[in-house]
Amino acid sequence: MNEGLPLAGVAADRLADVWVYLSASPLLGLTVTLLVYHGAFVAYRKSGFHPLANPVALSVIVLGALLWATGTPYATYFEGAQFVHFLLGPATVALSVPLFEQLARVKRLWLPMAGALVVGTLAATVTAIGVGWALGASKATIASLAPKSVTAPVAMGIAEKIGGLPTLTAVLVVCTGILGAASARYVLDALRIKDPTVRGFALGTAAHGIGTARAFLVSEEMGAFAGLAMGLTALFSAVALPLVAGWLLNWI
C-alpha cells in the first residue's frame, strides 16, 4: 500500500530540482509567463470568449501581482520573458498568410480602406491629445498618449521623437489594445456594422496587435483585415504622426 510513497517522493524531489534550476535562470520569467497566459486563456475559453475576460488583461494582472508579492524586479523577470517579446516579430510576419488569401478583396477595397486608415489614425491621435490637454496633462504625457493606437515598437519610437516617454507609451498601448478588444464588439454592434471586413479593419486600426488577436478568434477573414490595418497604421503613423502630433503639441 506504501509503494506509491517513494514514487511521490522522487517526483517531489525532481519538481524541487526543476524549481531550483528555474529560479536561478532567466527561464523562470518565460515559464511563468507561459503558464499564466495558458491559465488565462483557459478561463477565456470557459467564459465563451467573452471580451471582458481578455487573456492579455488577466495575464497582466496576475503577473503584476506575482512580481509585487515576490519582490521581483521587472528587469529580472524580463530577462526570460523577452523571448516571448522576440516572437512578436515572426508572429506579425505570419499574418501575411491569411491576408494573402484575401488579396482579391484587398485590391477591390483599397480606396475605402485607405480613407478609413487616414481618418482612423488621425482621429485616434487628435482625440488622445485633446483629452489629455483638457484634463491638464503635462506635455510629455500628452506626447506619450498620441501614438497609443499604434503597435508598441513603432509607438515608442514616435513618442520618443515628439518628446514623450516611451515606457509610458508602451503601457498606454497595451491598455488601448485591451480596451479595444474588450469593447469593440459592443461598439460595432451598436453601430450596426456587421461586415467582418469592416469590423476587422476597424479593430486593427484602433487596437493594434491585441485587437488583431481578438479578431482572429472571430474569423480568419476578420483577423486578416485587422492584421492589414495594424501594419498599415504603423507605417502611416511612423510618417504622419510626428508631423501632426508635433504641430498640435506646439499649438497647445
- Digit-coded pLDDT (tens) for 202-241: 999 988 888 888 888 888 888 888 988 888 888 899 888 8
Residue 150 in this model has a pLDDT that exceeds 70: yes
pTM above 0.85, yes or no: no
pLDDT of residue 216: 85
74-97: per-residue pLDDT in tens? 778 877 777 776 676 676 677 667
- Which of 234, 214, 235 minimizes the C-alpha distance to 226? 214
What was the pLDDT predicted at 250?
A: 80
pLDDT mean over 114-141: 90
Contact 88, 109 (CB under 8 A): no
Domain boundaries, the chain: 4-86, 93-251
Name the band, by pLDDT with cuts 50, 70 and 90, for residue 12: low
pLDDT higher than 50, residue 5: no
What average pLDDT does the segment 191-208 reach? 90
DSSP state of 163: T
What is the model's pLDDT at position 44?
86
Confidence of residue 201 (pLDDT cuts 50, 70, 90): very high
Q: Answer yes or no: is pLDDT of 46 > 60.
A: yes
pLDDT value at residue 1: 47
pLDDT surpassing 70 at residue 50: yes
> Which string of b and e fits 168-190 if b means at least 16 CB within 10 Å?
bbbebbbebbbbbbbebeeebee
At which residue does the C-alpha cell 501581482 appear? 65
Distance CA 139, CA 133 (A): 8
Amino acid 39 reads: G
